[in-house]
């Protein structure tokens, strides 16, 4: 699903609310019939994973950054990937050939964006929330990302994307927000 709308219309707020990352939000959320208020917030965020607009690459190598989610205490449905799985995952987002001991902070902005995406995807969330994932990418990286998203969606993960660019034909549905956060259009 793609979400679009002018600046300030609440696209990021919508994603943060879905990830239970919005202080003061009210209402109820559920994923696969499981209500948000029956789960610890950390566990909910592992299931409904937000990738913020600015990728946060921590000091350290590529491997440290990719397995970071497994260094946190929260329970995961997916086991920590080994080196082989990491390398093939990197290949799938167009980062094949990068060694796992490469200093992640020295990667380009586009590469960092894909590492941050991969880090979230590897944890196997049920819903993936992407805040302008291709805003900082060149057309080539952007299409590599789109292909990766098609593969992720094929595994049954729901994807909600905030997007400014023209439709790339991937989204099954489209939400349009207007100033003030009202939903004006919803459709395929």
Partner 1 sequence: MSDPAGVIAIGWPQLLLATGFMVVTGGITLALQLGVTKALWLGTLRTYLQLLALGLVLGWVFRLRQPLLVLAIIGVMTAVAAQTVVRRAPDAPRGSYVRAWAAMGLPALVITFAVTGLIVRVEPWYLPRYVIPIAGMVIGNSMNGVALALERTFADMDARENEILALTALGASPWEAARESVRTALRAGMIPSINTLSTVGIVFIPGMMAGQVLAGADPLVAAPYQIVVMLMVATADVLGSTLVVLLTFRRRFTPDGVFLEKGWRPHAR
Residues forming contacts to partner 1 in the complex (CB under 8 A) are 19-24, 41-43, 45-46, 49-52, 54-56, 58, 68-69, 72-74, 116, 119-120, 123
Q: Which H or E run contains 83?
A: helix 83-92
**Least separation in angstroms between CB 57 and partner 1:** 9
Residue 68 Cβ, how far from partner 1 at the closest point, in Å?
7
Find the shortest distance in angstroms from Cβ 73 to partner 1.
6
Nearer of residues 66 and 87 to partner 1, judged by Cβ: 66
Q: Between 50 and 62, whose beta carbon lies closer to partner 1?
A: 50
Q: Which is nearer to partner 1, 30 or 172 (CB)?
A: 30
Output the smallest distance, CB 110 to partner 1, in A: 17
Task: Give residues with Cβ within 8 angstroms of 133, minimum separation 6.
Answer: 51, 113, 117, 145, 149, 161
Tell me whether residue 56 or residue 172 sits nearer to partner 1 (CB atom).
56
Please calculate the CA angle 45-18-70 and round it to the nearest 5 degrees: 15
Report the run of H or E that residue 183 belongs to, with start and end.
Answer: strand 182-187
Parallel, antiparallel or unpaired: strands 30-31 and 34-35? antiparallel
Using only C-alpha atoms, what is the Rg of the chain? 16
Q: Tokens for 134?
A: 């291709």
SS3 call for 86: helix
Residue placing its CB nearer to partner 1 in the complex, 129 or 145: 129
Shortest distance in whole angstroms from residue 38 CB to partner 1: 14
């Amino acid at each position: 699903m793609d979400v679009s709308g002018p600046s300030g219309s609440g696209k990021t707020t919508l994603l943060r609310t879905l990830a239970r990352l919005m202080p003061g939000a009210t209402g109820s959320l559920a994923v696969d019939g499981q209500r948000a208020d029956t789960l610890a917030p950390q566990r909910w965020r592992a299931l409904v994973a937000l990738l913020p607009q600015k990728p946060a690459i921590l000091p350290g190598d590529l491997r440290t950054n990719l397995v970071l989610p497994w260094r946190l205490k929260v329970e995961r449905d997916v086991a920590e990937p080994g080196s082989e799985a990491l390398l093939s995952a990197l290949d799938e987002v167009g980062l094949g050939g990068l060694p796992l001991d490469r200093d992640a902070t020295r990667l380009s902005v586009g590469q960092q964006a894909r590492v941050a995406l991969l880090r979230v995807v590897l944890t196997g969330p049920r819903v993936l929330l992407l805040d302008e994932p291709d805003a900082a990418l060149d057309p080539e990286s952007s299409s590599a990302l789109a292909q990766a998203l098609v593969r992720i969606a094929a595994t049954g993960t729901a994807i909600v994307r905030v997007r400014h660019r023209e439709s790339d034909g991937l989204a099954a549905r489209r939400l349009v927000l207007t100033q003030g956060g009202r939903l004006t259009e919803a459709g395929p």
